[in-house]
Structure 1
Amino acid sequence: MENSTDEIPIYNPDLLKQLDYAALTNLKYSTPRSPQNPGNSLIMRPLCAADYHKGFIELLRQLTSVGDVTPEQFMDHFQQMKSCNGTYYITVIEDISISKIVAAATLVVERKYIHACATRGMIEEVVVDSGYRGQQLGKLLMDTLTLLSKHTLGCYKTTLQCTEENIPFYEKFGFKKDPQVYMQHRHKP
């Protein structure tokens, strides 16, 4: 990476190098995949401030409503998240041949007082660009964030929210539908 503030990652990229994919027994890849080798011309790494200009916000629009986000808003939010050291692990896959973010997922670590001051990992905003689906990038992101949560960060559990139609995808990673009822109160801006 260049030595620029735009290239400073949201978390330490060495954490990705420490992951042991041998710990995964439930999933096999049709071609070898890892953070160091996600595919031809692809790299996996933490989100950087420069990713605004590499299509990160446009990628999120393939998942949900994002709204208008200016470069200044993105940078301000990035700096706030980065300052919460050990909380936000936004991981992206970039196609370096075209400088475009083509997949992303977020792991948020929540500190608790329960379970002897344990931490819980929450996976959110898993998205793969429509032109890159079928290349096992979502699978790689899920495996990566699950390993990061469990083995590297020591979370006592990892949770996620998804629609009914996405349950079969996440069950492949050992996630189970919880009997607890998820509720929300949406606040209009």
Structure 2
Amino acid sequence: MIRSSPKIEGIDLFDGVLLEKIRNESDIASYGSIRFRPLNSNDYDKGKLIYLTDNFLQLLSQLTEVGNVDKNQFLSRFHEMKSAGGHYVIVAEEKNTIIASATLVTEQKFIHNCALRGHLEDVVVRTEYRDQQIGRLMVSIIKHLAKQLQCYKLTLECKDRLISFYEKSGFRKEPGNGNSMNIRF
């Protein structure tokens, strides 16, 4: 069962009721003392009073380069994402520490009767919490959220070494459509 954290000060990136609906309408079971909730505007400072390395951005740095993001930059981007809509950053929290995160970004399309396409992004679990199925649970929550938002499909890009992880969560390479290309700037 997904449990929401008690309301903390600040602003949630999206309405936490969406996660409550997933808890009530899915087979996701309780996961001990871990709470699942939307990213909050206070998460820049989350954990800094206890450990200097337990906040949201430090967690993301275990996935990729974050850079030197100050609080004003964090809040500016947070409010831009909230205003634009379509960004669903979910965090898993235990004992005031953000231990995992995953993001659903929705893309508005003209095809498929003006449907939404979902993109699974930035799945990361804090090093000391890995191998406890938390990553798989985060992916499952994102899948349920994408269905709830009526996305016609959910896609992701991953490193080769992670293909089997995502296949175990139901993702498949599409024949003739398994290429991912990019230009980095």
TM-score, length of structure 2 as denominator length: 0.86
The amino acid that maps onto 2:76 is D
Contact 1:38 1:140 in 2 (8 A): no
Quote how far apart the aligned CAs of 1:46 are.
0.4
Partner deviation per Cα, 1:56-114 (whole Å, 9 max, x = no partner)? 000000000110000110000000001123x001000011x2x2111000000000011
The amino acid that maps onto 1:120 is R
Alignment of 1:90 with 2:89, yes or no, is yes
Quote how far apart the aligned CAs of 1:38 are.
2.8
CA 1:182–1:3: 2 relative to 1, 3 Å: closer
Quote how far apart the aligned CAs of 1:21 are.
2.4
Per the alignment, residue 50 of structure 2 pairs with none
The amino acid that maps onto 1:81 is M
The amino acid that maps onto 2:145 is L
Secondary structure of the corresponding residue to residue 81 of structure 1: helix
Quote how far apart the aligned CAs of 1:39 are.
2.1
Unpaired runs of 5+ residues, structure 1, are: 23-32
Quote how far apart the aligned CAs of 1:3 are.
6.4
TM-score, length of structure 1 as denominator length: 0.85
Alignment of 1:158 with 2:154, yes or no, is yes
Partner deviation per Cα, 1:14-34 (whole Å, 9 max, x = no partner)? 111111323xxxxxxxxxx54
CA distance, structure 1, for counterparts of residue 145 and residue 20 of structure 2:
10
Select 2:13's aligned residue among 6, 10, 19. 10
Q: Give me the identity figure in percent.
A: 42
Please, which moves more after superposition, 100-109 or 174-183?
174-183
CA distance, structure 1, for counterparts of residue 90 and residue 76 of structure 2:
18
CA distance, structure 2, for counterparts of residue 107 and residue 131 of structure 1:
24
Per the alignment, residue 72 of structure 1 pairs with 72
Unpaired runs of 5+ residues, structure 2, are: 1-5, 47-54
CA distance, structure 2, for counterparts of residue 120 and residue 2 of structure 1:
30
The amino acid that maps onto 2:142 is L
The amino acid that maps onto 2:61 is R
CA distance, structure 2, for counterparts of residue 39 and residue 160 of structure 1:
28
Select 1:51's aligned residue among 30, 39, 43. 43
Per the alignment, residue 173 of structure 2 pairs with 177
Quote how far apart the aligned CAs of 1:2 are.
4.8
Quote how far apart the aligned CAs of 1:162 are.
0.3
Per the alignment, residue 26 of structure 1 pairs with none
The amino acid that maps onto 1:111 is Q
CA distance, structure 2, for counterparts of residue 145 and residue 3 of structure 1:
22
Per the alignment, residue 140 of structure 2 pairs with 143
Query: RMSD value over aligned CA atoms?
Result: 1.3
Select 1:109's aligned residue among 83, 106, 110. 106
CA distance, structure 1, for counterparts of residue 171 and residue 8 of structure 2:
39
Instruction: Choose between structure 1 and 2 for higher RCO, CA contacts under 8 A separated by at least 6 residues.
Output: 1
Per the alignment, residue 52 of structure 2 pairs with none
